[in-house]
Amino acid sequence: MAGWGQGSAATGAHRSEAADAGSLVLKLSQSVSHLGRDAAEVRGVLEDTQKTVQQQGQAMGALVSELQQVQGAQQGIAQGTSQSLTAVERARAALQGMGAEVTAMVQTLKQVSDAASDITAIALQTRLVAFNASVEAKRAGEAGRGFGVVADAVKDLAGKVESSSKAIMSTVAALDARIAVFSNELNAGGAAGSAKGQSAIHSAFAAVAGDVERIAQAARQSLQTTEQLAGRAAGLQQEVGQTMRNLDTAFACSDRFLRLSEELIEQIASSGVKVEDSRYIEAAQAAASEIAGLLEQALAQGQIKESQLFDEQYRPIPGTAPAQHLSAFVELADRLFPAVQERMLSLSEKVVYCIAVDRNGYVATHNRKYCQPQRAGDLVWNTANSRYRRIFNDRTGLASARNQRPFLLQTYRRDMGGGKFVLLKEASAPIIVRGRHWGGLRLAFGF
């Protein structure tokens, strides 16, 4: 009796120790689960920050490029204004040369006018001589008649010459007056540089030169400012690059930390001790097996060809945002998957979704509440409610789709669009059809 009592006591002690160990493992799994949740939250924040810094880096790169283009344009302006000033100076020099030429022209015209005046005087004298000759011819009577005719002709010709020379003098005088005004305009450059001493044409050139010089000065100041901005922007770009590298390091650390917490939970679940996640893992495995059986049955009955079931030629659906795609097995998935996927939603109020995805993360058909037709132009609503016919190839999505171990447990933030995220756990199990890995069953649930 004593021995039996000792044996019962030992058995009771072992049971107590086992219970204590199970309780310890359960508490450990809960702690690791919370740790995984925090790690996923940190990873999500780092991911958001990384995206923001990447956008800033791209913006800084674009700014540096734009500033370089502005610098090039300003250098072109500076070169152009320099050429403009040179051209204005050449024009001024040409005007001065033209002034000298006009002055010579005025002198020439004066000589023409003087010559015309001499011709007029000579013509007048010729007329007087011809008139006297005509009088003498009349006195000579019949003997001087022929000479009189010649005298009259000379008088008439002299009158015409006088008339023409006077016209020449009048025209030259008018031209001389106009050229004189133009000559004054050209030569009145203003020795003292005063506005009153300058002619209109020289004032215009001075104004043009002043405007060009102001443009050149503004371009020089702008170029200097732009060079300073470009230098600062380049420095900021380097700082953003360093920040991105630091974020990459932190991101990699958070990934390892998250993966470690997930592996700990998987090891605890694989130990045989029932933990909070066990029911979801077992449900995912059962659903994956059921989906695999339905697909094998469809193949056996000729409902679909194996090449169609493993189709990877995803055809984009035009006008969809986020992008949706079609594949050769969507109709079969629409018929077979909902019965399993919808039933899994009733497992617990914590279950958010249950979907079968192929090895590339393609979701042919989602749970009915997430299979809403897209609304044109409403990206936020579509992201949250039209989650079927889409490819989820993010870290979590691809890991679940390509996992071939008995199960995989992950913690992640689910993007619901519009900057909204939901922190979830996900148990996944592989779907094997005729010995080939088709994809995975993803069962997501809240904490």
Q: Are 358 and 438 within 8 A, CB to CB?
A: yes
Q: Are 137 and 147 within 8 A, CB to CB?
A: yes
Q: Is 17 a domain residue? A: no
Provide the 3-class DSSP secondary structure of residue 95: helix
Q: Which of 259, 275, 291 is the last residue of a domain?
A: 275
- The total domain count for the chain is 2
DSSP state of 270: H
Residue 189 banded pLDDT, cuts 50, 70, 90:
low
pLDDT tens digit string along 139-187? 777 766 666 677 676 667 667 766 776 777 677 777 777 777 776 666 6
Residue 241 banded pLDDT, cuts 50, 70, 90:
confident
pLDDT tens digit string along 28-59? 655 665 655 666 666 666 666 766 766 766 77
Task: Specify the higher pLDDT residue, 295 or 75.
Answer: 295
Q: Are 368 and 342 within 8 A, CB to CB?
A: yes
Is the dihedral angle over the CA atoms 227, 229, 235, 240 positive or is it negative?
Answer: negative
Q: Which of 240, 275, 310 is the last residue of a domain?
A: 275
What is the value of pTM for the model shown? 0.54
Are both 422 and 331 inside the same structural domain?
A: yes
Residue of 402, 414, 403, 428 whose CA lies nearest to 283 = 428
Are both 290 and 226 inside the same structural domain?
A: no
Q: Which domain holds residue 290?
A: 277-447
Q: What is the pLDDT of residue 311?
A: 97
Which CATH number goes with the domain that contains 327?
A: 3.30.450.20
Strand-strand pairing, 420-433 and 408-417: antiparallel
Cα separation, 98 vs 208, in Å, equals 20
Are both 360 and 292 inside the same structural domain?
A: yes
Token couple for 59: 């913006």
**Which amino acid type is present at position 320?**
T
Are both 259 and 302 inside the same structural domain?
A: no
Cα separation, 78 vs 100, in Å, equals 33
